[in-house]
Structure 1
Amino acid sequence: MNKFRNYILNFLKYKNLIWKLTVKDLKVKYKRSFLGIAWSLLNPLLTMIVLTIVFQSIFRFNIANFPVYLISGQVLFNFFSESTNLAMSSIFRDGQLIKKVYIPKYIFPISKVLFSFINMSISLIAIFLVCILTGVKLTYAAILAPLGLIYIAIFSMGFGLMLCSIGVFFRDLEHIYSVILTIWSYLTPVFYPINIIPQKYIIFILYNPMYYFIDYFRQTILYGNVPTLQLNLVCLACSVIMFIIGLYIFYKSQDKFVVNI
Structure 2
Amino acid sequence: MTTLDTSAFETPGRGRGLLDVFRYRYLLRLLIGKTTSLRYRNSALGWFWSYVRPTVQFLVYYLIVGQVMGMHRNVESFPLYLFSGIVVVNLFNEAFGAATGSIVSNKALVRKIYLPRELFPIAAIVGAFIHFLPQLAILLVVSTLVFGYIPSIASIGLVIGALALVLGFIMGIGLFFSAINVRYRDASNVVEIIRTIATWSSPILYTWIMVYDITENVRWLFNLYMANPITVAVEMFHHAFWEPAVSATDRHGWPPDMVWHVASAVGIAVFALIVGQYVFRRSERTFAQDL
TM-score, length of structure 1 as denominator length: 0.89
Distance 2:126 2:233 in 1: 18
Q: What is the aligned partner in structure 2 of residue 255 from structure 1?
A: 285
Q: Which residue, out of 16, 19, 23, partners 2:26?
A: 16
**CA distance 1:236–1:138, change in 2 (3 Å):** farther
Q: Which has the larger radius of gyration?
A: 2
Q: 1:105 to 1:234 in 2, by over 3 A?
A: same
1:74 and 1:190 in contact (8 A); partners too: yes
Cα pair 1:142 1:220 within 8 Å, conserved? yes
CA shift in 2, pair 1:51/1:32, >3 Å: same
* 2:110 is equivalent to residue 98 of structure 1: yes
The separation in 2 between residues aligned to 1:47 and 1:186, in whole angstroms, is 14
Q: Are positions 1:195 and 2:225 aligned together?
A: no
Matched, 1:77 2:107: no
1:214 deviates by 1.1
- Work out which of the residue numbers 214, 228, 250 in structure 2 matches 1:208: 228
Deviates more, 1:172-181 or 1:250-259: 172-181
Q: Which residue of 2 aligns with 1:159?
A: 173
Deviation at 1:65, TM superposition (A): 1.8
SS of alignment partner, residue 257 of structure 1: helix
Show the counterpart of 1:27.
Answer: 37
Instruction: State the distance in 1 between where 2:289 and 2:101 align.
Output: 16
1:38 aligns with 2:38: no
Q: What is the deviation of 1:35?
A: 2.6
CA contact (8 A) 2:172 2:277 kept: yes
Shift of 1:115: 0.4
Taking the aligned partners of 2:223 and 2:259, their CA distance within structure 1 comes to 21
Q: 1:231 deviation in Å?
A: 5.7
The residue identity in structure 2 corresponding to 1:219 is H
Q: CA deviation at 1:31?
A: 2.2
1:72-122 Cα shifts (integer Å, max 9, x gaps): 221111111111111111112211211111111111111100000111112
Say if 1:188 and 1:210, in contact at 8 Å, map to a contact too. Answer: yes
Note the alpha carbon deviations across 1:98-154, whole angstroms, 9 max, x for none: 111111111111110000011111210111132134314234122211232122111
The match for 1:49 among 35, 59, 62 is 59
Partner of 1:181: 195
In structure 2, what residue type is equivalent to 1:19?
R
- TM-score w.r.t. length of structure 2: 0.81
8 Å contact kept, 1:45–1:126: no
Q: Deviations over 1:33-54 (max 9, x none)?
A: 2332222123222321232122
- For structure 1, the residue ranges without an aligned partner over 5 or more in a row are none
Cα distance in structure 2, aligned partners of 1:202 and 1:4: 43
Which segment is superposed worse, 128-137 or 241-250? Answer: 128-137
User: Take 1:96 and 1:43, find their aligned partners in 2: how far apart are those partners?
Assistant: 31
Backbone CA RMSD of aligned residues: 2.5
> CA separation in 2, counterparts of 1:99 and 1:169?
14
Structure 1 residues 207-236: Cα deviation after superposition (integer angstroms, max 9, x where no partner): 322101111122122224998755653443
Q: Is the 8 A contact 1:67 1:130 kept in 2?
A: no
